[in-house]
Structure 1
C-alpha cells in the first residue's frame, strides 16, 4: 500500500506519521511519500518521520520529493494538507477583515473566502495529476476550507472525501467525561465543515442511548469553557456546537479579542519555527509535546481510520466526513457538501439518515451553503463581481459597504495567487 501526503513538509506531518506508526495494523502502509516544494522543511520533517518509524519498528519506507507527479505515481490514496501562501497569507486573512469590524479567520468569513480562492485551483490541478497517475486513487482532503475544497473535488468527478478533526476531538472529550472508550461514543454530528452541532451523543453506535442531556447536565460547565461560550447558552440550545460557532454566536466579542491580541497566525508561525528546530535534532524520534499546541489534534487517528475504510482494509464503519448531501438534509441541494456521520467503505462515503434539523440551525446551514456555492464559483471563474457576491452572501458580512471594501482588500492582498486579478 502506497500513500502520498501532499504538503508533507508541514509541521503537522509528524502527528500523521505517529498515527501511521502506532496504527499500522489498521493501515499497513508499505510506502509513504512526502511531497512538498519547500526542500528545507521537507528534509527536516522527512528525517524525523523516518526516525519515528524506526523507533516504533514500522517496516515501511518513507521518501521525500518536490516532484508531485513522481510522488503520486502508483499511490492508493493521496492526503492533501497544503497551505497556499503559507503562514504569511494566513496572517493577512486574519488581519485585514478586522478593519471592517468583521472576523479575521482563515476558514470563516472574508479570510476563509481568500483562502478558498487561493486553494481551489491548486487542489484541482493536483487532483487531475493524481487521476492521470491512478484513476482509482482516493483523495483525502484535510486542506481548509475543507467543505469548499471537497465540493470542488467532487464536482470535478474526483474520488474524494473531506476530513476535519473537530468531530474526533469532541468524541475524545466526551469519552473522557463519560469514562468510556472513544469507539463507544457515536456522535449525531450534523452541519457543514466548521459549522456543526452535536445533536446527540450515543453509546454503542447509531441506535444507541442518547446521553447528551445527562452529559450537558453534569459536565455542561466544562464543555462550555472549552467552547468559550456561556453555559446558559448550551443549556438553552440543548446541543453542543462546534467551537467555530463562536464566530457566529459571539461575533463582536471575538472581533474585539482579535484586535487586542496577537493573531493565531503569528502564534503558529512562532511555534513552527521552534518545531522545525526540534525536528532537526537527530536524537528526536517522536512527535514533540509542543506539536499538540499547533492544532489538528487526533488528525492522525481520523486520517488512518478514513484511509483504512476507503482502501478496504478495515477502519470504523461509521465516520464523520465531508461528502455530498444526496438528500440527507432535504433543504439543501443534493450536490452540496455536508459534514455528517457516514457509512464509509471502499465505495466511498454515504451519509447516514439524519433527524430533521431545528430551524435555528438549518437556517444558518442553508445560508452558509449558498455562500459556499458562490465562493466556489468565484474560485473557479474569478472576477471581482463574483467575489463581491460571495462576501455579500456570507452571514458574517452581509452589508454591501463591507462587501465592497472587503472585495478590494481581498484582491489586493491575494493578487499574486489569483490568475485573473
Structure 2
C-alpha cells in the first residue's frame, strides 16, 4: 500500500531541541533522545468513513513530533497501518450494500488526499492489515505454541496473564479494563475465555465474511491488536521511540499490542513513550463514527476552506486537550492565516531570529502548539505595527512555520 506525497520541509538555521513529551505509561514527562533515526508508529484509520477532524487532530500531533525530530537533524522512520479488514468496515459495507474492499480502497484514497492537503508528512511504510496477514499468522502461531494463546471454538485468544507487564500502559484496574473492552471491540462476556480481558488474535472464518489462509490456524482473519504488532515489529523492531494514537486507543489497543510484542520478544517495553492525542467533540459529544457527529476534512475543502486554515485550527489546541470543533474555531483560524500572510508579504520586517527559538522551545515542551502560535502572533503584531529593515525576516518566518508547524504561507 502506498502513502501520500511528502511536502518539502525547509531547513532552518541552528538546531532544534530534544522533545519532552507526556508519556501515558508513566503519567509523566520524559525527554526523548533518539539515535540518528527516530522511530515512530501511529495507528491508522479503519477506512469506512474518513477523514474527520478527530482523525486530523491526531495525525497533526504526530506530524509535529516528526517535525521536531527533523529540526534536530535526525532522520525519521515513521510507520502507519490501515485496518482494512475489521467488523466496523464489514458492517458499514453491508449497511450500504457495498463491496467491503472497494469501500476500504475508496476511503483510504480519500484519507490520502486529505493528508496531502493538510501537509501531513507521510509514513515511510504505510501497511494495510490484509497485506500484513502473511506476517501476522506466524506470530499468532508462536504465541499459541509458547502457551501464551489458546483456541476457543476455532478462534485464537491471547492470554493476558502470560505477560508480567500487562497493565503498565494504561494503569487501569481490572473493572475499568473490562468496561472499556466491552465498549471498544472486545468480548469480555464470551463464555470459555480464560480471562474476560483476553483479546482475539485470530478469528476463524465466518459464513459470508472474507477470510484468508492462516496455516495451522485455519482460515480466518487477524484480530485488531496483533495487526499493529506485526507491522511495528517488522519495520521498527522493539523499544521504538513513540507509539502514538488517539486517547481512545490507550486501552485496549495499545495495552494489548504492548503485551503481544513483549511476550513475543521477551523485551520490555514495546515503546519508549506512549503518546496520545485528545478527543474532538461536536455539539457537546465526542466526534465519532458511531454517533455520526462528524466534520469531514474533505467536506470543508469542498466548501472552499483553505486546508492551511484547517491546520491552524487544529494547532490552536494542545494535542492532549479534549476540545470542541465550532464555526468560531475555524473563523479564528481563517483570520489568523490572513494576518500571517499579510505580515510575511512585506519586503522586509523586524528580526525573526528570536521567534525561531521561541517556536522551537514551545514545541519541544510537549508539543505546545498554542504557545508556538502565540509567539508567531506577537511577531506578526510587531511586524504590522513597526517599520523593520531586516530583508530576511519575512522569509525566515515563512520557513519556520512551514518547517515546524506545517503551515504554508
User: Which structure dedicates a bigger proportion of its chain to helix?
Assistant: 1
- Structure 2 length-normalised TM: 0.26
Structure index of larger Rg: 2
